[in-house]
Amino acid sequence: LDGIEAARAPFKSHKWTSEPLLARAANPNAPEAVENPADSGDSPGTVASASEEDIETALTYAAPWNAPAEERKAILNKVADLYEENFGQLFALLAREAGKSMPDAVAELREAVDFLRYYGANIPDAAPVGTFTCISPWNFPLAIFTGQISAALAAGNAVLSKPAEQTPLISHFAISLMHQAGVPKAALQLLPGAGSVGAALTSDPRVDGVAFTGSTATAMKIRAAMAENLAPGAPLIAETGGLNAMIVDSTALPEQAVQAIVESAFQSAGQRCSALRCLYVQEDIAKPFIQMLTGAMDALSVGQPWQLSTDCGPVIDELAWSGIAVHIQTARSEGRLMHEIATPNSGRFIAPTLIRVNGIGDMKREIFGPVLHVATFKSQELDKIIGDINATGYGLTFGLMTRIDDRVQHVTEAVGAGNIYVNRNQIGAIVGSQPFGGEGLSGTGPKAGGPNYLTRYTARPATQ
């Protein structure tokens, strides 16, 4: 509780203003207010986008981090220490800029710290690639952002970081802690702004590699820009979207399955690339099982991220909100809405919702919010639905709830997904022992937090 109180204090009072981290001679871009997704009347601070001149300066001065491996390790550990010491401000920014609930913020800080210490402890004995552009998303503005940067830095690269436009302030704060710990400014520069800044930083021949987490569509644009402008063979490390399924058969323990589903589909308001999107329930248990699930949904609390009772905070911005709202409205008008719970009628909240589908093939795209699609299946259809799941082309996470051992073996071998979860929630990774990453349209291996990941950031990648 001490920690939570410490987090609340700056949450109420803090105002962040961007400080130029580069030599910004004359930035023509005026500072713009960053939004609080849970409260349209509040802004946690302002930030000016990187100008063309900033980008040019960053590219000119970028220099690989050539400190000895031991020093890099010590400094990355120091960054981890500083993250832990500054947890109050980090929690405050996670809540106020990204809408993260307190438990989500705690988990995110933990993961960021784990990345720093794990990559610091596993520095590869190889030359760096050179200058890496790291482009990060808003949904894990601390963990994914730190994971990419610390991997690139551990391997001795220079980093140009382009955080998501929705969450620049936490990136500013985190980068200032990295500089404070001793990462040289020439080895780590922050270039906030919209996708156009990312586009500039992935299409300049002075860039040697790119780490990207975001949508599959943007990853494809980056791949094309790199092929045209960067040296042949420049690495692209991409983590992208998913259409994640879970199968619950009639032998599953219902309480365990319901809890796992609620966490997998609705935590972080469903704004995780790993989140469960399409649930298959065996037909003979479907009716009572879905009743239990809707009962559990009714107990969820949707609200302000800083309230300790909140299970489901806001979605990130107006565009996200309206896209999800239209999807739910379409399902309602087609008579496919199975259940939704009450939502606060202000702010960008979306009620956890169930929508009926025939199967994952009905889902044309990833709906990045607390919306779960539900289909039923007969036992003889198991292989067909596995085929449908694989046919989406994505392959990020998959869940299975069953008490039939042979089925565990059969299904987990047949489904193509980077992370497979059996009889537990379909969430997360453990840095060092359970790395995270997708297959197919969901990403290019090796997995983050795993032993081979850093080889992608070196000039002589080990053969996989």
Quick check: bond before 446 cis, omega within 30?
yes
Please state the closest distance from residue 196 (CB atom) to ligand ADP, in A: 7
Residue 142 C-beta: closest distance to ligand ADP, Å: 14
- The whole-angstrom separation of Cα 201 and Cα 132 is 9
**Could you tell me if 102 and 142 are in contact, meaning their C-beta atoms sit under 8 angstroms apart?**
no
Apex 32 CA angle, 105 and 104, nearest 5: 5
Minimum CB–partner distance for residue 399 and ligand ADP (Å): 22
Residue among 323 and 344 whose Cβ is closer to ligand ADP:
323
The contact set with ligand ADP (CB under 6 A) reads: 135-137, 162, 164-165, 194-195, 198-199, 202, 214-215, 218, 221-222
Reported for 333-336, long-range contacts at CB under 8 A and 24+ positions apart, including other chains, are none
Catalytic residue among 273, 278, 340, 366: 273
CA dist 408 and 252 (Å) reads 12
Instruction: Give yes or no: 239 in active site.
Output: yes
By the 8 A CB rule, do 397 and 357 touch?
A: no
What the block records as the tokens of 37 is 């997704």
Cβ nearer to ligand ADP, comparing 198 with 395: 198
DSSP state of 48: P
| Least Cβ distance, residue 113 to ligand ADP (angstroms) | 22
Catalytic residue among 35, 108, 239, 340: 239
Closer by beta carbon to ligand ADP, 93 or else 411: 93
Kindly state the smallest distance separating residue 239's Cβ from ligand ADP, in Å. 10
**What is the residue type of 444?**
T
Judged by CB, which is closer to ligand ADP: 153, or 200?
200
If the CB atoms of residues 267 and 376 are measured against ligand ADP, the closer one turns out to be 267
Catalytic residue list contains 273: yes
CA distance 265 to 342: 17
Residue 94, classified by CB atoms within 10 Å of its CB into exposed (0-12), middle (13-18) or buried (19+), is buried
Question: Which residues are known catalytic residues?
Answer: 239, 273
